[in-house]
């Protein structure tokens, strides 16, 4: 049990490790990671020194969007296991002193959900249809969609059904948006929150938390601009970040507070920084992902601004902030940092598109990307707030950019019609390498000797990043993560003091801050983005992301100094 985990608000300073279940570890040999795979690797998870595991969706799903198309919210996909497997996994995690966070997908259900099937069967105007967003089309025979809204993955956001009505899907066509004005929807999600809380979930990650409340009434649908993203998010936007969405989370807070300790949730809400804090307020979810760190390129000013905004938002919300470098939706950060850097004002989507566009050639400097990833980790782990890690980042994995078209799974790859051939997000979702040499050809991903192929192809270079290879190498990324996480827990989290002071005076190519640490001492974290080495403050070097030049910090490196 990490000491942090014994308090009721453990999640405010937690290190949460995201498991993408289908790509973590496969116990039964069907080439798909499973819940028993997470249980089997509990020792590994514990050895990292994390506080909690967050599992991306493992519910029954046609997998049109990696499980974010849920067909049954209160069950386990038979390909991933059973409810009993979940119970055993949660028990093993708790036994090992780790919490469990599960994913809730409230904006849309799979079109295979029984509600959607009932809505289709019941026909226009029925109460069943009212749980979703069905509308008549335009044109003489309703043959045109209600308006020009586009799905996030590309293509129209409306799909016509056999009787002529259209339903809204902000994501894949297999993900029908729910109508949060319908009371059934409210009741059902409260039931789901209680269901998993009763089964041992300690918290929730809320998918597209900013999209639930929609305004389709205040003006004729056809009058909305085709791309509401172009407008300012907030009151004038019919889809994203509407003020009424917060009423839903205040209702959920009542459910969270039925439990002891109260459950918490972290919102995935891609909203302007000024609005982020509302989702995180103690009356609502508790936390919100702060994606500014992952959006920033390797520029001192951008990263500093991201940290400042995150800290300010946390203060405003009365909660703590979160830090994210990677997740299952973005190219892995050692790859991002090894590419020519673009300013984040153009948004990381640009990097994504550029990286994943088929046929693009780019030069990925892996040594540089790795060096910066190490520096970024130490800078991130020294900050107050919770850190969300994504499976495989502890192995220093890069994006797998060359998955053949025929083997891709991500709807972004198929629906993308951003006019370009975007290969989507599978490159960070490739099954983990556990063993460098495995004659069966999947780097130990599947436990049985005879097994199906891993569901996405693994590149040969995964061997260098396999868990067993990194275990055997004291200089590996894995050991760096373990060391840094242990030091964060022992020296920083343990104090309960979340204050941070910026150390100015190093110039604009350095990010340096000081935090109170164990033993009444001060920990200074210094990251050097400039070409010239910088002088470190006096004190004991607790950890450095790269070899120091005497007592100076070289470029693209972070050191923690205690005095
Ligand atoms: C955000 C999830 O992280 C992403 O993977 C998914 O495609 C969308 N929400 C839609 O559910
Ligand atoms: Ca399996």
Atom of ligand 1 nearest to the CA of 153: 7
Predicted local distance difference test score (pLDDT) of residue 343: 78
pLDDT confidence band for 153 (50 / 70 / 90): confident
Predicted local distance difference test score (pLDDT) of residue 342: 78
| pLDDT, tens digit, 9 for 90 and up, residues 44-56 | 999 999 999 999 9
Is the shortest distance between the CB of 291 and ligand 1 below 6 Å? no
pLDDT confidence band for 417 (50 / 70 / 90): very low
In angstroms, rounded to a whole number, what is the distance separating the alpha carbons of residues 556 and 286? Answer: 34
The residue from 26, 165, 207, 284 that is catalytic is 207
| pLDDT, tens digit, 9 for 90 and up, residues 310-361 | 999 888 888 999 999 999 999 899 999 998 887 765 555 555 555 555 556 6
**Mean of all residue pLDDT scores within the chain:** 93
The answer to whether the beta carbons of residues 320 and 287 sit under 8 Å apart is: yes
Predicted local distance difference test score (pLDDT) of residue 503: 97
Helices first, then strands: H and E counts in the chain: 15, 20
Active site residue 207: yes
Q: Which domains does the chain have, with CATH numbers?
A: 3-108+183-482 (3.20.20.80), 114-177 (3.90.400.10), 497-562 (2.60.40.1180)
The pLDDT of 464-484, averaged and rounded, is 98
42 preceded by a cis bond (ω within 30 of 0): no
Predicted local distance difference test score (pLDDT) of residue 1: 47
Task: Give the burial class of 320: count Cβ atoms within 10 A of its Cβ; 0-12 exposed, 13-18 middle, 19 or more buried.
Answer: buried
| pLDDT, tens digit, 9 for 90 and up, residues 507-518 | 999 999 999 999
In angstroms, rounded to a whole number, what is the distance separating the alpha carbons of residues 88 and 94? Answer: 10
Active site residue 258: yes
| Of the candidate ranges 215-229, 289-303, 311-325, 473-487, the one whose mean pLDDT is the lowest | 215-229
Kind and range of the H or E element at 513? strand 510-517
Pocket test for ligand 1, best of 19, 153, 208 (most atoms within 8 A of CB): 208
Is the shortest distance between the CB of 394 and ligand 1 below 6 Å? no
In angstroms, rounded to a whole number, what is the distance separating the alpha carbons of residues 90 and 80? Answer: 15
The pLDDT of 228-239, averaged and rounded, is 70
* C-alpha distances in Å from residue 45, one per residue of 22, 81, 93, 108: 16, 20, 9, 31
- Which residues are registered as beta bridge partners of 103? 205
Predicted local distance difference test score (pLDDT) of residue 466: 98
The pLDDT of 45-70, averaged and rounded, is 98
For CA atoms 119, 123, 124, 125, give the dihedral sign.
negative
- Number of other residues whose CB lies within 10 A of the CB of residue 244: 13
Residue count of the chain:
563
Pocket test for ligand 1, best of 21, 55, 56, 68 (most atoms within 8 A of CB): 68
Half-sphere exposure of 69 (CA within 13 A, CB side): 20
Using H for helix, E for strand and C for coil, what is the string for 294-321?
A: HHCCCCHHHHHHHHHHHHHHHHHHCCCC
């Amino acid at each position: 049990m990490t000491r942090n985990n014994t308090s009721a608000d453990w999640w405010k300073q937690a290190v949460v490790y995201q498991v993408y279940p289908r790509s973590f570890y496969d116990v039964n040999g069907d080439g798909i990671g499973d819940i028993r795979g997470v249980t089997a690797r509990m020792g590994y998870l514990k050895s990292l020194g994390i506080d909690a595991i967050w599992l991306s969706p493992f519910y029954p799903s046609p997998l049109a969007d990696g499980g974010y198309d849920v067909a049954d919210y209160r069950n386990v996909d038979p390909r991933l296991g059973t409810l009993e497997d979940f119970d055993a996994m949660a028990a093993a995690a708790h036994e090992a002193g780790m919490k469990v966070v599960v994913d809730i997908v409230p904006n849309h259900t799979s079109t295979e959900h029984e509600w959607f099937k009932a809505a289709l069967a019941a026909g226009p105007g029925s109460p069943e249809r009212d749980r979703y967003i069905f509308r008549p089309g335009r044109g003489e025979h309703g043959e045109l969609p209600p308006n020009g809204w586009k799905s996030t993955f590309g293509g129209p956001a409306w799909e016509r059904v056999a009787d002529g009505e259209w339903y809204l899907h902000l994501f894949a066509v297999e993900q029908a948006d729910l109508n949060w004005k319908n009371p059934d929807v409210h009741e059902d999600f409260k039931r789901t929150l209680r269901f998993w809380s009763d089964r041992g979930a300690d918290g929730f990650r809320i998918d597209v938390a900013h999209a639930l409340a929609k305004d389709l009434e205040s003006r004729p649908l056809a009058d909305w601009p085709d791309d509401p993203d172009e407008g300012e998010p907030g009151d004038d936007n019919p889809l994203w970040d509407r003020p009424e969405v917060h009423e839903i989370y205040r209702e959920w807070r009542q459910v969270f507070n039925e439990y002891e300790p109260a459950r918490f949730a972290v919102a995935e809400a891609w909203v302007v920084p000024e609005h982020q804090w509302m989702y995180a307020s103690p009356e609502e979810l508790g936390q919100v992902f702060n994606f500014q760190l992952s959006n920033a390129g390797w520029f001192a000013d951008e990263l500093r601004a991201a940290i400042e905004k995150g800290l300010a938002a946390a203060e405003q919300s009365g909660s703590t902030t979160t830090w994210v470098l990677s997740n299952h939706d973005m190219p892995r950060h050692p790859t991002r940092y090894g590419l020519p850097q673009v300013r984040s004002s153009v948004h990381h989507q640009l990097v994504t598109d550029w990286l994943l566009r088929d046929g693009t050639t780019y030069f990925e400097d892996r040594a540089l990307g790795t060096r910066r990833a190490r520096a970024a980790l130490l800078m991130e782990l020294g900050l107050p707030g919770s850190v969300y890690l994504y499976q495989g980042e502890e192995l220093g994995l890069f994006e797998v950019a060359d998955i053949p078209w025929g083997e891709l799974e991500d709807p972004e790859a198929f629906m993308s019609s951003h006019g370009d051939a975007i290969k989507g997000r599978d490159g960070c979702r490739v099954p983990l390498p556990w063993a460098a040499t495995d004659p069966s050809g999947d780097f130990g991903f599947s436990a049985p000797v005879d097994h199906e192929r891993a569901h996405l192809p693994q590149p040969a270079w995964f061997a260098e990043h396999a868990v067993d290879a990194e275990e055997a190498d004291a200089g590996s990324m894995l050991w760096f993560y373990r060391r840094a996480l242990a030091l964060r827990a022992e020296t920083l989290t343990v104090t309960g003091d979340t204050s941070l002071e910026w150390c100015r005076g190093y110039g604009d190519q350095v990010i340096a801050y000081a935090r109170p640490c164990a033993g009444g001492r001060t920990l200074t974290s210094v990251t050097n983005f400039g070409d010239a080495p910088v002088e470190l403050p006096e004190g004991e070097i607790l950890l450095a992301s790269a070899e120091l030049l005497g007592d100076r910090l070289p470029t693209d490196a972070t050191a923690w100094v205690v005095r």
